[in-house]
Amino acid sequence: MASTTAAVASDKKYELPDNAIVLPPTAQLQALLTLIRDENTHRGDFVFYSDRIIRLLVEEGKCLNHLPVVPKTVRTPVGLDFNGVGFEGRICGVSIMRAGESMEAGLRDCCRSVRIGKILIQRDEETCLPKLFYAKLPEDIAERFVLLLDPMLATGGSCIKAIEVLLSHGVKEEKILFLNLIASPLGTDTVCKRFPKLRMITAWVDEGLDSHSYIVPGLGDFGDRYFL
């Protein structure tokens, strides 16, 4: 997105960090977001329209366009060469459980046979800080570009912990792309300024957080609405 500002749900403007990208606010995207925000939308429709937004993030949102390419020449069926490009390096998806798992199918739709890792982070009841409970990642993840998946970015605590896990497994910060449906300004600033070399791609930046650190206007608990 060329502009450094993004429309938020309250029609205000929010100054984006340099490494944050928001999808263009097309009529299609706004209609899809309206449908999944509606408390009266049934689960089947919520899943269907959420999947469409996820696909926009991965495909039309230029997520794959942020991966490096190298020149590649192929021979066409008419016997002529075509000078094109091919992706450089391999990718994998890593979902922050459980809501992030909702984004795996959309990634697979665009990236055939992509490997998927999983990270489970929950709040420690004693410290109230995000704590790693489980991580299963490809053995060669340090050699891959990583698409980190989590639909909602509120305070940024879980996302930061997940990024720290990736870094501890040898993933370079500049090889991490964080895909997200709805973010808060606080979460966006916190993640993007803490890790200035990663890139974040989100569908929308909402107004902010309430006293319980829920995104507002938001859409409720994404994982519960998608899976239950």
The catalytic site residues sit at 123, 127, 221, 224
The neighbouring-strand residues paired with 136 are 118
C-alpha torsion 203→208→209→211, nearest 10: -160
What six digits make up the tokens of 81?
């060469």
